[in-house]
Amino acid sequence: MPEIKIVTEIAGRICSTPVQVGGTVADGDEIVLVEAMKMEIPVLSPVSGEITSILVKLDDVVAEGQAIAIVAN
């Protein structure tokens, strides 16, 4: 089962993490919400699968291109 790293396309602060390790996601499901410039921007899963790792927590500051989760599909 290949593992896919989910990365954020913007820098900001993690303001929501609606998924949990062991949970399943579908292609296009929200993994986290990043607050940037007073906007909440979702980071979506590009594949269906199981969340094997969440690499950030609430209120973490992330950089553009940073891995935030790993999905096995």
Whether 1 has a pLDDT exceeding 90, the answer reads no
Count of the separate structural domains present in the chain: 1
Average pLDDT, the chain: 95
Q: And the tokens for 62?
A: 């992330």
Q: What is the dihedral of CA 14, 63, 65, 73, to 10 degrees?
A: -30
How remote is the C-alpha of 18 from its chain's centroid? 9
Mean pLDDT of 29-33: 96
Place of tokens 């949990």: 20
CA distances from 73 to 28, 30, 38, 52 (A): 14, 16, 33, 10
CATH label of the domain that carries residue 61: 2.40.50.100
**Domain span at 64:** 3-72
pLDDT digits (tens, 9 = 90+) for 35-71: 999 999 999 999 999 999 999 999 999 999 999 999 9
- Identity of the residue numbered 59: D
User: pTM (2 decimals)?
Assistant: 0.88
Looking at residue 42, what is its pLDDT? 96
Confidence tier at 25 by pLDDT (50, 70, 90): very high
Looking at residue 73, what is its pLDDT? 86
